[in-house]
Structure 1
Amino acid sequence: SLPKKERDSQTQTIIADIQKKITDAFEVFDHECNKTVDVREIGTIIRSLGCCPSESELHDLLAEVEEEEPTGYIRLEKFLPMMTKVLMERRYRPIPEDILLRAFEVLDENKCGHLTKEELVKYMTEEGEPFTQEEMEEMLSAAVDPETNTVRYRDYITMMVVDEN
């Protein structure tokens, strides 16, 4: 293994890279350029960094970075250390493609390789942690083929899976 000094230097480089990635993602939503973003954008920022927390996990993360007096905005100086820790610990990894595929296959009772838009809405809003109207619309716009009004889930999964690199 590497000498301690080199290991520390490598770790510093990794952390610097991660922090640059986080800052870049944050700045996309920092419309006022004042190192703050709307709290409602935080989920999008976290997901753009390859993390897929559930709504309740996202809620816990927000509780960590929100001020004692919630302003509706999150400051970069609070977000950066929290998000660096999340990425270093590889928390909220996306679900692997094969598991997603198996889940869709279970829902596809007729084994026809697709779900109808109606089936998808039913499963996503009535089971488990239901999707919000906004999440549902976002998923439908990405997943549903407008010509057939179905979701060819193999294609959708390929599009959904976050590239690990």
Structure 2
Amino acid sequence: MAGRKQSADVHQKIRAAFDAFDYEANSTVDVREIGTIIYSLGCFPSQKDLHDFIAKVEEDHTGYIHLDKFLPAMTKVLQEHKFPPISEDLLLQAFEALDKEKKDYLDPEELTKYMTQEGEPFTQEEMEEMLTALADHRNQIHYKDVVSQMTIKPDK
């Protein structure tokens, strides 16, 4: 019985995240929203994993994903703990490594340089969204304050 309740809870959580981007209320979302939906569910796939996931669930290369395909695939991801979030300690270490002057914050220009030129680069739009969310009134990113906002505590 507990297994069914847990499964229903997972489905409800996935549906709620999906529905937030179902602007036409027709059980479909634009393929470009899938990454955001997956992130909102506490999963953090690499770009390759995200592309592979989309390839499984996209409706015949139409640019849309239907809930009927997304729900079982995402349920499996959550149940198997695929795409786990990064730990708070590791994220803090990464910020500290970028903060070469040990000032406990990064300027938006510094963060933008690292996030758009290294690893899996962020787009300009993604950077603008991030900076809007993270920069304080002095236009500084005090990473020790925001690390907990950027990480998800594992369910006990």
TM-score of the superposed pair, with normalisation by structure 2: 0.93
Compute the TM-score of the two structures, normalised by the length of structure 1. 0.88
Aligned residue number for residue 113 of structure 2: 122
The answer to whether the aligner puts 1:135 opposite 2:135 as a matched pair is: no
Partner of 1:148: 138
Q: 1:149 is aligned with what amino acid?
A: N
Structure 2: runs of 5+ lacking an equivalent: none
Deviation at 1:131? 1.0
Partner of 2:36: 44
Q: Output aligned runs, 1:103-118, within 5 Å.
A: 103-118=94-109
Query: What's the counterpart of residue 90 of structure 1?
Result: 81
C-alpha RMSD over aligned residues: 1.3
Give the alignment partner of residue 29 of structure 1, picking from 17, 21, 24. Answer: 21
**Which of the two has higher C-alpha Rg?**
1
Aligned length: 155
Q: Distance in 1 between matches of 2:153 and 2:27?
A: 28
Q: CA deviation at 1:10?
A: 2.4
Whole-angstrom CA distance in 2 between matches of 1:29 and 1:127: 29
Q: Which amino acid aligns with 2:3?
A: T
Deviation at residue 151 of structure 1 after TM alignment: 0.9
Q: Which ranges in structure 1 are unaligned for 5 or more consecutive residues?
A: 1-8
Task: Tell me, in whole angstroms, the C-alpha distance in 2 between the residues paired with 1:122 and 1:36.
Answer: 35
User: 1:86-111: per-residue Cα shift (whole Å, max 9, x none)?
Assistant: 00001111101111001111111111
1:112-150 deviation digits (Å, cap 9, x = unpaired) = 1011111111111111111111211111111122x3222
Runs of 4+ in 1 over 6 A off after TM superposition: none
Q: Whole-Å Cα distance in 2 between the matches of residues 79 and 36 of structure 1?
A: 9
> What are the equivalent positions in structure 2 for 1:15-26 lying under 5 Å apart?
15-26=7-18
2: distance between equivalents of 1:104 and 1:123? 10
1:81: how far off?
A: 0.5
Question: 2 CA distance for matches of 1:141 and 1:41?
Answer: 19
